[in-house]
Structure formats: C-alpha cells, structure tokens
Structure 1
C-alpha cells in the first residue's frame, strides 16, 4: 500500500523563523504559535520555551485541546514561543549544552567521535538573545500581556530557567523548571541564588513550579531493574538527586524575607527523565494560561 498526494504535516497556526543572534552570530529557529480570534484587552498571555524543536508540537496541541473548553480545563488561549535550532532533529546537543549552561562553564569530551568538545557556560548570552531580540520581535507582531509571561525549560533547560530567575527576576512572572539539573557542575547555580537572595526583585505574584519524574528520585524504573546497567543508573540517580535538590531549592526560596516568589514541587508518578517532557510541557501550558490561579 502507498499513500498518494502526501504532504508535510504542520503545527496549526504556527510559523518558524530563523533568527541570527546579534551576540554570538549563531542562527536559532524560533517557533511562534498565534492564537485565533481577537486578543484580550491586556494582550495575550505568553509562554516561552527552550528546546523549541522538541516541545512546540506538544505545547501547541496541549493548549489547543484544552483552551477550547476553558470552563472544564481552566486553560485559555495564548501565544507560545519556543526557541530551538535550524535542524529537523528534536535537539542540537552541542549547542544546547552551551546555551543553557550557566557561566563560567567547563569543557567536556565530545559526545561522539570526530565531533567538537562540549562546552557549557553560554546561558547569559542566550538569555540576552531571548530578552533583547526574541521578545521585541514577538511583541512587535502580537499583542502580549506584559504581566503574564512564562518561561519553561526541561533538564538543562530547567537549570536555565533558574539561572534566568536568579539573574533577571523581573523578566517573567511564571517560571517552570522541569527536571532541573541543579546538581550540575557542583551546584554552580547556587552562586546565582546568592545574587538573587540579595535583591529578589520578582514581579508581583511571581511563581516557580519545579518538577521531576518518580524515576528521577531514588527509585529505579521497573524496566531498568535487572538490566546490565542497573548499578550505573543507581549511581547516576544518587548524583543528580533531582527531587532532593528541587525540594531544597523550594525551602531556600520560601525562607527568603517576604517570600518574593511562590514555589511548589511536583513529582510525576511513573515518569523518568525523558518521559517527563510531554507531561511537564502540558503542566507548563496549564500554569502559563491558567484562567484562575
């Protein structure tokens, strides 16, 4: 059997734009979902996302499915902007390592033979690109509610969300860090927490949602038990301690004077580090576009 008259499937109401960073000269692929109909009086709420290639389809469909039934879902329509790379793959591992890793960063062996070394530490330049180029372009095209802007990231992206919160706390009002790699480079993110705690200038009503999967805790996924790499995986879980660091971060933020940001932590049953992604994307949609808090 053969299919006839086939064509590429497209994400509804979504375009992509290859944008060159004025800071590092690199090209990024920026996906933009435009809601149907007229914007609310104060503009559309907006959700910015890292790892744009991997998340845009899930985010748009999760929002479209729920926003059509707002009374039952508490989800409204809004703008989704996901920032990725000019590739058909879900990820560009080399570039995301640099873009999402907090400075100063380090250098690591290549992911694959005959490829460049892996570098981290470019988060400040990437954040400047988002703030200085992506946001102004979106806001020139679409009416955006300045008080309802959210940022989502997963894994290294979750670490980037924390870096953005700690260095530019007024940039967004809703912060969504899924499986954040807080342990990375000996918890280097803590240096930026100290900067934030000295001047936690968040927006009024700011919220941070931290999450991870059940199998990112000290629990090994059932399908890994008895596998050849079981012991290795257990050791990696002990190092990452994703749930531990998330709860610890929440406690430290709650302990700050006047509670500059509300924080909650969610553990998703039955999910591992990668299977968490679509679940976390859906939760980001629900938080970013919530009609009632």
Structure 2
C-alpha cells in the first residue's frame, strides 16, 4: 500500500505533469519571437492519423550513411515531444559508431509542448472505479486505450516507417518513461515478440494500486511453462532521487524479472543515484541506445 505522504507526492507530481502544457503555453505567450527556431539536422517530422482517427506527431532521426543489407534497427521513443531531441542528437553525433547507424522514432502529439494529456489514455489501463482519492482528479480524463495505441505502434506506424526507410524488422525496440514505462511493460507482457528490446525508465508501477502485478504474474507463468518462446530483452532504469515512482519498487521488480533469465528473458538494470523522476530519461539516453543497438 502507498503511504498517505507518498500519495500526496504522487498526486502533486501528476498534477504538475498535466499542468505543464498550461504553464509552458503561458511562457510561450510571454516570450516574443526574436529569431527563427532551431531545426535539427537529419530529421523528419509529420502528423499521422491512426485507424481510430487519433493524430500523432512522428519525429524521425535517420543516418546519412547507406543502410546495411538487413536495414537499420529502430528505436521507438514514447513521449516524443519531450524525449526525441535528446535521443536524436545523441544518435547523430555517434553516427560513425554502431549505435548511431540506426533510426530513432519519437511518437508524440501535434503540439510544441513537452507532454499531452492524451498520454494517459494511450499508456494506461482503465482507471479503477471508484478511483483512489489521490487519482480522483484524473478521472475526468480518458484512460484505457493502451491496446489500441499498441496496435498503432506495432502496425500502421511500423509499416509507414518501413515504407519511408530501410529498416530491420527483427530489431525494433521501445523506450517508455513513467506511464510510458508502464505501457512498455504491457507490451512485454502481452506482445513479447513485438520488440527486440524494451527499455522502461522509472515505470509507474504504483498506478491503479499496482494494477500491473496480475499481468506480470500471468506473463511469468506463461514464460516459465514454455508458452511464450522468444521474448524481448529488458532494460530497467531508475533514479535514486525519484520521489514520484519508488526506485526500490522498480529494483524489486527487476530482481523478479532477473530470476526469469533461465527461461530466456535477458535483463539489465541501472540505478542512477543522483537522478530524479524527470531527469532519468536524459541520463538513460546512451545506455538505451547501446542496449537497443549495440548487440544482439
């Protein structure tokens, strides 16, 4: 169970996450445009509609070099508005090395803001009813669309990326932070062959009163009984100063997953002692690229 003080901190964190668009919008309105904006080299961006009519902004960082025979490996980065730039520039400046000979796809929303409230629907299961008091203020937002979003991520979007670039369909990876990490775990549990590698950063394991645990147990049972076969590789990263999602809970989760190594699940765990919830994604960029692209 989550302590009352921890619930208060979690509620404050989610309020701030959802308030970021309003705060950023106010800052933008107060700042005059005095020069052209910066355009990132070696990138493309476009808006794309899912089969359900949802619009996503797709950001792509691509190498200038010729693709290998099997095509470029691909990393899909959730919360693309917030995290794509760090991954893209890190990939680009290391293009002469193996981890730079790859494609990074940021999956975001048609806004210049870092976060969009639609992530709540795309990354989570339905909110429990009645919601916990600490989450009650979020009940007004749509939730529970994670499988529809995964269909888009592994279906229409992957097909479109394959049309525009030469990619290796056997080396598709996924990075998710916070609620995005929760979505990445759902992908592991329900579609264990969909991604070659999955990286979860500060995953929101406490969401819905640890509602992810039944999925974990079911996946573990299927894997240990031989019903899964080949499964994604898993990297778990946390910040030692994270007060929003418990790093010890994530470390305990990683220990449970590590026990499945005899059944084919390859796991790595990194704890960044000096990082907090929002600084973990940037700190994890190089480790994520190495994990996704550095080796098979």
Range of TM-score over shorter length: 0.7 to 0.9
Q: Distance in 2 between matches of 1:38 and 1:105?
A: 49
Distance, in Å, in 2 between the alignment partners of 1:257 and 1:104 is 32
C-alpha change, 1:37 and 1:130, in structure 2 (3 Å) is: same
- SS where residue 119 of structure 1 aligns? coil
Write the deviation string for residues 119-163 of structure 1: whole angstroms up to 9, x where unpaired. 332211111111121001111221111222110011111111101
Give the 4+ runs in structure 1 shifted more than 4 A. Answer: 103-111
- Cα deviation, residue 275, structure 1: 1.4
> Where does residue 129 of structure 1 map in the other structure?
152
Structure number with higher helix proportion = 2
Q: Deviations along 1:32-60, whole A, 9 cap, x unmatched?
A: 12211210111101100100111111111
Structure 2 counterpart of 1:138: 161
What is the aligned partner in structure 2 of residue 272 from structure 1? 276
Could you state the TM-score of these two structures normalised by the residue count of structure 2?
0.79
2:235 pairs with one of 209, 212, 216 = 209
Say whether residues 1:82 and 2:111 are aligned partners: no
Aligned length: 256
Work out whether 1:193 is the aligned partner of 2:197. Answer: no
Paired residues of 1:246 and 1:265 also in contact (CA < 8 A): no
| Structure 1 range deviating more: 175-184 or 5-14 | 5-14
Q: What does 1:106-117 correspond to in 2, within 5 Å?
A: 108-110=135-137, 117=140
TM-score (norm 1): 0.80
Matched, 1:254 2:258: yes
Cα distance in 2, alignment partners of residues 11 and 33 from structure 1: 9
Verify the 8 A CA contact 2:261 2:267 in the aligned structure 1: no
Match of 1:11 in 2: 40
Residue of 49, 56, 70 corresponding to 1:28: 56
Q: Secondary structure at the match of 1:56?
A: helix
Mapped contact 1:29–1:86 kept (Cα < 8 A): yes
Stretches of structure 2 that go unaligned for 5 or more consecutive residues are: 1-32
Distance 2:293 2:50 in 1: 28
In 1, Cα distance between equivalents of 2:215 and 2:274: 32
The answer for the alignment partner of 2:288 in structure 1 is 284
Question: Does the 8 Å CA contact 1:147/1:173 hold for their aligned counterparts?
Answer: yes
- Over the aligned positions, Cα root-mean-square deviation in angstroms equals 2.3
Contact persistence 1:43–1:145 (CA under 8 A): yes
Structure-2 residue corresponding to 1:57: 85
